[in-house]
Structures are given as structure tokens and as C-alpha cells.
């Protein structure tokens, strides 16, 4: 992984992580070269990115939208691919060394799976791949000699901190959470939260779904499950602490009591660049601390009564099997219903638990069975909301 220029493909290039990845590439002084870009929507931005980066391929994931789009702005020499087959083809290209998987939701699993099958290095920003299919994904990576490098700021922080000791010396991993905009709200206030309020995250600028997840702390529940599989941890080794400043991105506590933390100003370009240039570190596009200015870091335990998603995440991490796929799908559907004004904010997590408890648990599902559980959970959410 030390050869440069490193050739990459970006799946989900028009989303927030994808756009930050483009900025990292532009600031890489030629050390990163984009072979292909893939996006579902915002095809005008996809064409603009193609003009900036001159990839060999672009992929329009939604074939219907692609058919209706005017591709005249696509630069010469750039080949257009469409559909899931196009994503898989891009992920498997022999010249691609690293695949950035930044597609939100279960839609990102196909590209991640194809890249791992081809033995690529996967810079993983799509937490749903490990939430849905953690054991299958990690087994495939091991079988094909593929490497998974986390892009989530929390998991990147854990990965960096783990370099300070042996895995056998790890006592626990502490994931930090900003607490979102409602960490001091009463139950009565949470019942009145609107979509506009939930989308106003105090620290990060993200997509709509993940911003709502940050407000419910479901994002942290999913990160617990992801960390369990990615780092081969016992669920009881994972803790969450509220850290409103979002300067410490996560910590690892070792057996001797030492705690190694990774700190930086909140800027996704840093973990993206680390994954793309690992094991090297170079100055890049990310913001850095101004140590001439005072700042404060505070930590507090989470209120699990106010935010029951954390307990739910630990329960699912312990269960494994089909539980992760059901929780992920139920949450995606419930968040969509909340944003559409059909489900109160404070009912998102309880509804996910009801669906999880109602599902026919499978301890060792196949890849196809996971998607069947996914479809069932989404239908079940709609049935509960309509009832």
C-alpha cells in the first residue's frame, strides 16, 4: 500500500463524504488518481467532478435517471456505465487499488462486496455494510486478502489509536458522541421535535438521514455494531461517552490503564485522507488546531433513558445474525417516515425495537436472506406507522 500515485474509485461521489474525498484528491499533489466515480443522483455534479478529475469511468447508479439526463457535459474519453452492474464493474477494475465506499444505506453493500471480492483495499464510509453483514463482510475480506480501512471519524480514530498496542492488550474502546442537538431535552420536548430541528446538527454537516441518526444517537448504535465486527471486539468492550465539542473522535483504553485518544478539529477530510494514504501521513486539506487559542473538552456519560438507541445497538451487537440488517432497515424506513411528517421523532427508536423484536431471528443468514430481512423490516415499519 505504499505505491503512489494510488488509483482509486469513489462510490457515492456526490454525497457529503464523496465531495470531501474529491477535495482530498485535489489537495493530494498527484498522489491520488481517480479512475472512476459513481453516483445515484446529482448527475450534474457528477459531470462537474468528471471534468475536474478526468476519470476513465463514471457510473450513474439509477438507470432511469441516467436515461433522462443530458450527458453532453461529460468530458471526452470518459465512459458512462449505469446501474448496479456498472458499480460492480468499477469496483472490480484491475487498475483500481482502493475503493471509497460512501453510498448511504444498504445500497452501498453491493459495491463494498464487489470490491472485497476483488481483493481491493476498501475505504469504508458506509457503516451499513458491517451493520447488516458484519461476519460475512469480514470473512470475505479475510478470504480474498482484502483490507478494510475505516473512514467514519470514530472508527478511524479507533484504528489510529490501536497502533499504540497489541490487540490482546485492549481493555475497551470508547466511542465519542456529540450528543446531537437534543442531549438536554426533556421527554416532552423530544416528543415535539420537528424535522427542521433534527436536521440542525451542532457540529457536523452531513446528509439528512445521518443527521437525524445523530439526533437520536442511532448513528452511535450503528457504530457500536460496526466496531464490534470491524475490530473483532466483545460488545462489552465498547462504551459510548458524550463529548459535545467533537474534538476527540474516539479512544482506546489498554490493559495498563493508558487511554490513547485521536484528536483533531471536526473535518471528515482527515480520516478520508488517512484511509487513502495509509500508512503515510502528509499535510492535506483538513483543518488543524490553533494551539494559541484556548479550548475545552468535556466528557459525560450518555443518558440511556433519553436516548434508548445506545442500549438497542449493544443488544444487536450481542445478537449478531439477522438483527443488524433488521435494525438498519427499520431505522432507514422510520427516519424517512419522520422526515415526511408521519412519525414523531421520539417514536423512531421504539419503533425500531418493536420491529426487531417481532422479526424471525436467523443466527447465520446468507447474503440473500439478509436482504429479505431488510425488505421485511421496511414493510413492517410502514405497517406500524399506518396502523
The pLDDT tens digits for 195-253 are 999 888 666 566 788 889 989 999 999 999 999 999 999 999 999 999 999 999 999 99
Q: Which three cell numbers stand for residue 160?
A: 489510529
Q: In the chain, how many H helices and how many E strands? A: 16, 11
Where do we find the cell 484528491?
Answer: 25
Can you name the residues that pair with 121 across neighbouring β-strands?
Answer: 98, 147
Can you name the residues that pair with 230 across neighbouring β-strands?
Answer: none
Give, for 79, the enclosing helix (H) or strand (E): strand 79-82
Residue 273 reports pLDDT greater than 90: yes
Quick one: average pLDDT of 172-183? 93
Quick one: average pLDDT of 124-140? 92
Residue 1 reports pLDDT greater than 80: no
Helix intervals (H) in the chain = 16-26, 43-53, 63-67, 83-92, 109-117, 128-144, 153-161, 187-190, 195-198, 208-216, 218-230, 269-277, 309-319, 323-339, 348-358, 367-386
Rg for the chain, CA atoms, rounded: 20
Residue 107 reports pLDDT greater than 90: no
Separation between Cα atoms, residue 313 and residue 237, nearest integer Å: 13
Q: Which three cell numbers stand for residue 117?
A: 471480492
- How sure is the predictor about 2, in pLDDT bands with cuts at 50, 70 and 90? low
Quick one: average pLDDT of 272-280? 96
pLDDT value, residue 63? 93
Backbone torsions φ then ψ of 33, nearest 5 degrees: -125, 125
Digit-coded pLDDT (tens) for 26-52:
999 999 999 999 999 899 999 999 999
Quick one: average pLDDT of 110-121? 94
Residue 94 reports pLDDT greater than 60: yes
Query: Strand pairing of 6-11 and 32-39?
Result: parallel
- How sure is the predictor about 284, in pLDDT bands with cuts at 50, 70 and 90? confident
Q: How many residues does the chain have?
A: 387
Q: Which three cell numbers stand for residue 269?
A: 477530510
pLDDT value, residue 201? 65
Quick one: average pLDDT of 326-340? 96
Q: In Å, how far are 33, 143, 221 from 93, measured between CA atoms?
A: 14, 19, 34
Backbone torsions φ then ψ of 250, nearest 5 degrees: 175, 170
pLDDT value, residue 353? 98
Q: Average pLDDT over the chain, rounded to whole? A: 94
Q: Which three cell numbers stand for residue 163?
A: 497502533
pLDDT value, residue 250? 98
pLDDT value, residue 204? 58
Amino acid at each position: 500500500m505504499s505505491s503512489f500515485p494510488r488509483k482509486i474509485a469513489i462510490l457515492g461521489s456526490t454525497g457529503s463524504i464523496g465531495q470531501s474525498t474529491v477535495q482530498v484528491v485535489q489537495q493530494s499533489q498527484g498522489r491520488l488518481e481517480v479512475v472512476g466515480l459513481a453516483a445515484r443522483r446529482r448527475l450534474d455534479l457528477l459531470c462537474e467532478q468528471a471534468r475536474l478529475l478526468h476519470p476513465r469511468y463514471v457510473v450513474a447508479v439509477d438507470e432511469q435517471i441516467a436515461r433522462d439526463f443530458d450527458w453532453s457535459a461529460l468530458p471526452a474519453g470518459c465512459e458512462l456505465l449505469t446501474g448496479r452492474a456498472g458499480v460492480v464493474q468499477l469496483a472490480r477494475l484491475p487498475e483500481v487499488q482502493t475503493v471509497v465506499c460512501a453510498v448511504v444505506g444498504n445500497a452501498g453493500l453491493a459495491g463494498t462486496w464487489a470490491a472485497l471480492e476483488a481483493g481491493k483495499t476498501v475505504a469504508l464510509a458506509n457503516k451499513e455494510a458491517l451493520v447488516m453483514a458484519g461476519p460475512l463482510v469480514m470473512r470475505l475480506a479475510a478470504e480474498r486478502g482484502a483490507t478494510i480501512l475505516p473512514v467514519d471519524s470514530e472508527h478511524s480514530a479507533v484504528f489510529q489509536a490501536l497502533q499504540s498496542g497489541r490487540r490482546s492488550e485492549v481493555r475497551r474502546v470508547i466511542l465519542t458522541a456529540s450528543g446531537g442537538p437534543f442531549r438536554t431535552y426533556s421527554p416532552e420536548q423530544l416528543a415535539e421535535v420537528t424535522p427542521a430541528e433534527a436536521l440542525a446538527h451542532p457540529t457536523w454537516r452531513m446528509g439528512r438521514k445521518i443527521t437525524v441518526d445523530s439526533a437520536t444517537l442511532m448513528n452511535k448504535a450503528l457504530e457500536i455494531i460496526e466496531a464490534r465486527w470491524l475490530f473483532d471486539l466483545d460488545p462489552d468492550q465498547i462504551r459510548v461517552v458524550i463529548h459535545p465539542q467533537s474534538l476527540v473522535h474516539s479512544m482506546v483504553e489498554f490493559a495498563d490503564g493508558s487511554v490513547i485518544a485521536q484528536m483533531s478539529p471536526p473535518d471528515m477530510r482527515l480520516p478520508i485522507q488517512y484511509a487513502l494514504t495509509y500508512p503515510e501521513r502528509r499535510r492535506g486539506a483538513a483543518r488543524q488546531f490553533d494551539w494559541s487559542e484556548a479550548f475545552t473538552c468535556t466528557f459525560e456519560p450518555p443518558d440511556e433513558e433519553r436516548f434508548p438507541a445506545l442500549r438497542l445497538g449493544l443488544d444487536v451487537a450481542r445478537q449478531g445474525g439477522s438483527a443488524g440488517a433488521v435494525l438498519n432497515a427499520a431505522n432507514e424506513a422510520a427516519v424517512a417516515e419522520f422526515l415526511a411528517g408521519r412519525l414523531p421523532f421520539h417514536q423512531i427508536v421504539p419503533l425500531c425495537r418493536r420491529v426487531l423484536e417481532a422479526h424471525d431471528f436467523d443466527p447465520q443468514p446468507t447474503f440473500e436472506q439478509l436482504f429479505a430481512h431488510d425488505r421485511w423490516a421496511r414493510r413492517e415499519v410502514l405497517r406500524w406507522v399506518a396502523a
